[in-house]
Amino acid sequence: MNAGRQTAVGAFVLGGIVLALGAIVLFGDFNIFNPPTRAAIVFRDSIAGLSIGSPVTFRGVPVGAVDGISIRFDTKTNVAVIPVTIRVEPDRARIARPRGTTPLDISDLIKRGLRAQLNIQSFVTGQAQIDLDFDPESIPELHPGVTGLPEIPTRPSPFEMAKQQLSQLPLRELADHANAMLQSLRTLSDKLDEDLPPLVDSLKATSDRTGQTVETAGQAIKALQDRLETTLSNVDRLTVSADGQLNQRGADLQKLLTSSNQAMLQARDLLGDLRTATSSRSADRANVESTLRDLAAAAASLRGFASDVERDPHLLLTGRRP
């Protein structure tokens, strides 16, 4: 009876142990058939906010967690580095590969450009996480001898790059320039406080004078408009009078042109008669020529008689003797 009771107790204890092991295998962070891959990431700067259990993501997808954090100090170079061990679960990511080829391990992924980056998980709590991504163009910086695990090279986070850029800025010179600019602005403000009131008064006086000038110009323009209207009325009357005079003189001009035309016709007829009279075949021309010959003979006789009288004046009384 005692032996049967001991057997039952032993079976109960053994069943409890089996159930506990099953629960650890099923619900615990323990995988017998597909063990996680472990790798190391070596940081030189602060990893504030990162702790054991912090998530490890690939482009935002959780693929593992931080497994350990330590510090390695080199007494020769006085340089301290922080190796961080991560645990990557293979079932979180699947890599397609041809059949019959060996599966890719973490070392192959590192050769293909796998890089790690420390990012802030929450600005409220200050917790950090490690993000993995491929960046083949970045030059890997490894730390041999620090860890025996495959090392994933790091690349600077946007916060670290911004911090580096800010550290390279000439902040002291910028502050000096800002102080000088503020001093210039203060001097300008004081000068404006002194110069603006007289300037405002001058602008006001100028505005008043401008208003008076505009009013005077308006009155002058109005008077000029009245004069222009009077001038236009006179021009209209002159135009009407000129039209009447032109109409009246038009009849006179018509009569003058008619008379001139008749005179031209008479002159043309006279020229025709003269041309006919002076023609070589005209009888009038022969009579004129005969008359001219007679006149020439009479003139010759008169000249001879004048010569004789000049030699002998008594010829006027006695005449010529035969």
Task: Taking residues 264-271, report their average pLDDT.
Answer: 78
CB 277 within 8 A of CB 285: yes
- DSSP β-ladder status, 128-134 and 55-58: parallel
Read off φ and ψ for residue 118, nearest 5 degrees.
-90, 120
CB 85 within 8 A of CB 146: no
Locate tokens 């041809």: which residue? 98
Tokens representing 2 are: 């005692």
Does residue 51 form part of some domain? yes
Does residue 267 form part of some domain? yes
The pLDDT assigned to 314 comes to 62
Residues 53 and 149 grouped into a single domain: yes
Residues 270 and 291 grouped into a single domain: no
Residues 34 and 142 grouped into a single domain: yes
Q: Which of 115-119, 123-127, 278-282 has the lowest mean pLDDT?
A: 278-282
pLDDT bucket at 31, cuts 50 / 70 / 90? very low
272 vs 93, which has greater pLDDT?
Answer: 272
Residues 233 and 298 grouped into a single domain: no
Residues 129 and 252 grouped into a single domain: no
Q: Which of 56-70, 176-190, 198-212, 291-305 has the lowest mean pLDDT?
A: 291-305
The pLDDT assigned to 217 comes to 83
pLDDT exceeds cutoff 90 at 130: yes
Does residue 187 form part of some domain? no
Task: Taking residues 247-257, report their average pLDDT.
Answer: 73
Neighbours of 160 (CB within 10 A): 16
Residues 40 and 161 grouped into a single domain: yes
Averaged pLDDT of the chain: 77
Which residues is 134 bridged to in the sheet? 114
pLDDT exceeds cutoff 70 at 322: no
pLDDT exceeds cutoff 60 at 24: no
Task: Taking residues 87-116, report their average pLDDT.
Answer: 73
The Cα–Cα gap between 271 and 263 comes to: 12
The Cα–Cα gap between 57 and 63 comes to: 5
Residues 155 and 35 grouped into a single domain: yes
Task: Taking residues 180-195, report their average pLDDT.
Answer: 81
pLDDT exceeds cutoff 50 at 33: no
Does residue 309 form part of some domain? yes
Does residue 239 form part of some domain? yes
pLDDT exceeds cutoff 90 at 131: yes
pLDDT exceeds cutoff 90 at 165: no
Distance in Å from the first CA to the final CA of the chain = 235
Does residue 4 form part of some domain? no
pLDDT bucket at 4, cuts 50 / 70 / 90? low
Parent domain of 224? 212-277
- The separation between CA 22 and the C-alpha centre of its own chain, rounded to angstroms, equals 73
3-state class (DSSP) for residue 176: helix
Residues 260 and 294 grouped into a single domain: no
The pLDDT assigned to 278 comes to 65
3-state class (DSSP) for residue 253: helix
pLDDT bucket at 84, cuts 50 / 70 / 90? very high
Residues 58 and 81 grouped into a single domain: yes
In total, how many domains does the chain have? Answer: 3
Does residue 15 form part of some domain? no
Residues 299 and 266 grouped into a single domain: no
